[in-house]
Amino acid sequence: MNAPRHLTEEDRQTVADGTLDPQRSEEIAAHLGVCASCAADVARLEKLMRRLHDAPVASAPSSAPLDEMWSDIRARIEQTKIVPLAPLGLAGAVTDRTAAVRRRSLWLSASLAAAAVIFIIFERMPRGAQPDDSAPASNGIPMSVVAESSRVYEQEANTLLNDLELQRSLLRPQTAEAIDHDLRIIDQAIAELKDAIAHDPNNRSLRQLLASSYRQKVELLKRAGITG
Amino acid sequence: MVIAAIAGTMFGPFAAAQTAKPAEADGPILGARAVSPTAAFNIVNPAGSVRIIGWDNDSIVVRGRIAPGERFYFLGGREGMKFGMYDQAANQPMRPAQFVIYVPKRSTVSPKTVSADISATDVSGVFNSVSGAIRIRGSATSIEAESINGGLDVDVAAPWVHARTGQGHLLVRGTPQDVDAATIGGTLDVASPAILRGRFASVSGDIHYVGQPAWGGIFEFSNHSGAVDFLFPRTTSARLELSSVVGLIENGFDRVRPAAVGPHSLRINLGRGDAQITARTFKGVIRLRPE
């Protein structure tokens, strides 16, 4: 018996988003019943569309004035801030350019002075000292920065995963298989590291290894986008 | 040397092919034209092989053999060109084509293949393959080589090398200066005394570093479950900070007193401690051995 022809990309999309011509539904359903490859692909598309449908919609309308949008943006920055933002009044005084420039110069001077002090402290630290997890890592990166980089990589990985799902039907089967295999290895490593961090949240090495694993995942997904 | 033997096994056929001179033996001319010495070339060949050679002429010559019925394109101008095989649909079988391409040494190439092997000499660029082996040698200004699961052999003199593969074997040698190399499950071998800044990572593949780290070099090794092996000459001058969350650390420099030792960490200065080396794993073993 001849192998059945696969559904076209358009057919798969219309089945997944429910816009398939009713006259063809019987024929398509029959094919999906015997073709595991197309059925799996349609299931993936349906899952992706559900995810897109369930995603939260931006609360501010696109026509909202900038001042109204600022409160939302500010709230989101505040959630992830390290240094508190200036009071709202300062943000509104955008017309006073001289004051803004002066403030920027002050901040710059203060930052440079702080950086110089930190540099001197680290340069004078005894190099033979015992490792201490409460201090910055040997490469001078504070724990908060290491944790933040993991979070950023994780977000980027999720975005790239969605992109990969969108173009999965265009990938050659061997390519998709190789990518999935590598993703499983990385995800297993990430799961082990997260589990270890749950038991030892202040272990800097674990955090750095987690950031490294996420970086590997992001790079693999980017590679998949280029070579796939 | 062990690494040279591994490379010979992996890329032996390439080594023979690299010595070939421009000749009809490479196949008929598929395309040729005068180009700028710094032109950029996008090259597509899903299956077969791509051999790229940098030469001292301001022109490009493409020789090769393509399967009957397959379509070859050769488009662009002096500053940039794209050429190759029209890619078949994902579910169509790929028929191999062999390209031998001569480009100006200062040009930038971007070959992209699925299963075709890529070899390049004296050119810079971005090399991509899904499962084909990539071998780059000679001099270059920058090299980026990425494969999903093909092997990579980067043997160049270049200021900057970036190399990635999943399950393939990745070998870095020659005299690159800044190197960022990583695998997921493949073995990563590093054998270069010239690296000044190196970042090497894997998830489950072993990492081997062989040789004398450069004076003032800074190296970072990271692995999850694979091993990190250092094989240093006894004259090595480096400061090492090795740590593993649950893995073992084996120190073969037993005549040198460590600066600090913990159950899963070791800090040790070899010689004057000129190079700075950090290695961390989750459960992979870290071995420090003298040559």
Q: Looking at residue A126, what is its pLDDT?
A: 40
Residue B55 in this model has a pLDDT that exceeds 80: yes
ipTM of the complex: 0.83
Give CA torsion, residues B131, B155, B216, B260, to 10 deg: 50
Q: Looking at residue A138, what is its pLDDT?
A: 46
Q: How large a percentage of chain A has pLDDT more than 70?
A: 56
Instruction: Find all residues with CB under 8 Å of A79, minimum gap 6, and list them.
Output: none
Treating both helix axes as pointing N-terminal to C-terminal, what angle do A143-167 and A36-54 enclose, rounded to 10 degrees? 130
Which of B225, B241, B245 has the CB atom closest to A138's CB atom? B241
Residue type, A85: L
Mean pLDDT of A43-49: 81
A interface test, pick of B203, B276, B278 with most A CB neighbours within 10 Å: B203
Instruction: Please report the residues numbered 54 through 113 in chain A whose beta carbons come closer than 8 angstroms to any beta carbon of chain B.
Output: none
- Helix H or strand E encompassing A77: helix A66-79
CB spacing of A227 vs B146 below 8 angstroms: yes
Query: Which tops the pLDDT comparison, A228 or A169?
Result: A169
Residue B135 in this model has a pLDDT that exceeds 90: yes
CB spacing of A209 vs B282 below 8 angstroms: yes
**Per residue in A69-117, pLDDT tens?**
666 666 666 666 555 554 444 444 444 444 455 555 555 555 555 555 5
Query: Which tops the pLDDT comparison, B159 or A151?
Result: B159
Mean pLDDT of B44-72: 93
| Cα distance between residue A58 and residue B76, in whole Å | 43
Read off the pLDDT band of A175 (50, 70, 90): confident
Work out the mean pLDDT of chain B and round it to a whole number: 90
CB spacing of B278 vs A139 below 8 angstroms: yes
Mean pLDDT of B89-101: 80
CA–centroid distance for B177 within its chain: 13
Residue B265 in this model has a pLDDT that exceeds 70: yes
Contact A160, A220 (CB under 8 A): no
Query: Which tops the pLDDT comparison, A98 or B169?
Result: B169
Q: Looking at residue B271, what is its pLDDT?
A: 92
Q: Looking at residue B239, what is its pLDDT?
A: 96
Residue B30 in this model has a pLDDT that exceeds 50: yes
What single-letter DSSP state applies at residue B87? P
CB spacing of A209 vs B281 below 8 angstroms: yes
Residue by residue, DSSP assigns B102-122 as: EEETT-EEEEEESS-EEEEES
Q: Looking at residue A103, what is its pLDDT?
A: 55
pTM attached to this predicted model = 0.69
Q: Looking at residue A98, what is its pLDDT?
A: 46
Q: Looking at residue B253, what is its pLDDT?
A: 92
Work out the mean pLDDT of chain A and round it to a whole number: 71
